[in-house]
Amino acid sequence: MRILIVEDESRLLSILLRSLKAEGYVVDGVQTATDGLAYLKAYHYDLAILDLQLPDGTGTSLLKKLRELGNTLPVLVLTARGDLESKLENFRAGADDYLVKPVAMAELSIRVQALMRRGPALQDNVMRSGALEINRLTRQVTRDGKRVELSPKEYSLLEYLWLHSGRAVSRTMILERIWDQSFEGLTNVVDVYIGYLRRKIDEGGTQKHIRTIRGLGYMFDNSEAQ
């Protein structure tokens, strides 16, 4: 599942990105309200985490714009402001949860999981392609009705490719979304994990889901989706 974090403090943003990626989420991070709105318009997210004090506006204003656009994704406000007035203002604006800094990563993780469960109906989070099925709420994958055991990174990679079905994604794009910046330049790690996935979801089957697009990267082939 994919999360957007809008947080202007670089150090905290880095910690949040690293922590949530380690749990298997696909996470994007931006530092301004303008970029936050642009990302929310351009991509599908399952959760947004918003700071209130941003260099070009407030998280509250961004939240209001999001709701005016009809976007109902869960939003967690993460801020240093713990006063009741701020909490009420943001809940009225459409926030689903409110967490005061400094935050314990364990608590943030639990709240993120709870908000994900409140998200879209279960059927909207079950994707099928031939004999393959992925449940984005439980993060489980099955093939011919049998569970496929995937590591958190393997699951995140599969989900990312699936959400971009029919489009080639480069190794660099995959690294930026699935791995931390410490992996920059190590594009061979993508090839290794693609190999893991192919053995688990394609080997022995009639439908080959993960295709290599020469010169571009990889593509999830959903042409036989049910």
Concatenating the DSSP letter of every residue in 17-81 gives HHHHHHTT-EEEEESSHHHHHHHHHHS--SEEEE-SEETTEEHHHHHHHHHHTT----EEEEES-
DSSP 8-state code for residue 185: T
pLDDT digits (tens, 9 = 90+) for 41-56: 888 788 999 999 999 9
Q: What mean pLDDT do residues 140-150 have? A: 90
State residue 79 phi and psi, 5-degree precision. Answer: -150, 160
pTM above 0.75, yes or no: no
- Does residue 6 contact residue 56 with C-beta atoms inside 8 Å? no
Angular region, 185: left φ>0, alpha ψ -120 to 50, beta rest: left
121 has a pLDDT exceeding 60:
no
CA neighbor of 135 nearest in space, from 145, 124, 144: 124
One-letter amino acid of 163: L
Predicted confidence band of residue 208 (pLDDT cuts 50, 70, 90): confident
Question: Looking at domain 2-117, does it have CATH number 3.40.50.2300?
Answer: yes
172 has a pLDDT exceeding 70:
yes
pLDDT digits (tens, 9 = 90+) for 43-102: 878 899 999 999 998 999 999 998 888 788 899 999 999 899 999 999 999 999 999 998
If one counts every other C-beta atom within 10 angstroms of the C-beta of residue 102, the result is 6
124 has a pLDDT exceeding 80:
no
Domain boundaries, the chain: 2-117, 122-220
- Domain 122-220: assigned CATH number: 1.10.10.10
